[in-house]
Amino acid sequence: MKKKNIYIAISIIVIAIVAVASIYFKKDKPTSLLGPSPSVNSLDIKVEVSPTSTPNAAKPSRVLTKEEIVYTKRKEQAQEVIKRFSSETTLSDKFIWYQALARAELGLKNYAAAKTAYQLALQSDPANPLSAATYAELSSLLVIMKDYDSALLAIQKSTQLRPDVVSHWTDYISLELNHFKISHVQIQNIYKDGIDKSGGQYDLVKAYAIYLEKNMDLSGALYQWRDLATRYPSNQEAATNVARLEDLIK
């Protein structure tokens, strides 16, 4: 009986020791199979809080530039006018204010909103005499947005509406050269078409002459400069380039 009591006592002591040990060692054991969550310091994350702020305080908004303030005011003005559009609002007024909104959005670099406003302007008054310039502006915006196919259609439309505006043709050609695979002959044809439809304007013929010279067509460039020298006899630039190219071709 004494031996049995001794065994029972020893068993109780062993159980107690195991229980105490398990509680002691449990403190440093991971709580999951993935191990303990890393601390901020172990991830090398730096949290900077200004002395006058709290972690939950809202960040101050960026201060607008003078240019942004101007464009924002123009945008708000256009939006207010557009809200008051009615059946009595003329097509011309709709065109003007949608275009004003588009230019304000463009100035603020809100490109998608600017595109929509330009489209609304053109839809509101397709026959507006300012449509050609608006198509050209839309084309430039679409280039920024990398929508080159739509940009090409827009600038082509501007050349159709106002073929007398040289910048429409030069923008058209620049777009073709920079973003499309187009042959030298095709570019020449666009220049010739533009020169014909614009009435042979000096700046467009000059641009064509420069293009030809860059592409080593000196005879073609000389021909264009001679044409300008003949039609603009008092223009020193044309006469100088005729003499220069004649010397190069000798």
Question: Is the whole-model pTM more than 0.75?
Answer: no
pLDDT at residue number 64: 87
pLDDT at residue number 29: 35
pLDDT at residue number 11: 55
| Chunked mean pLDDT (size 10), the chain, 250 residues | 52 50 40 32 29 48 89 95 94 96 97 97 93 98 98 97 97 98 97 98 98 97 98 97 95
Q: Which residues contact 159 (CB under 8 A, 6 or more apart)?
A: 165, 168, 169, 172, 194, 197
Give residue limits of the domains in the chain: 65-128, 200-250
pLDDT at residue number 51: 40
pLDDT at residue number 43: 25
148: nearest Cα among 175, 122, 126: 175
Q: Which amino acid is at 234?
A: S
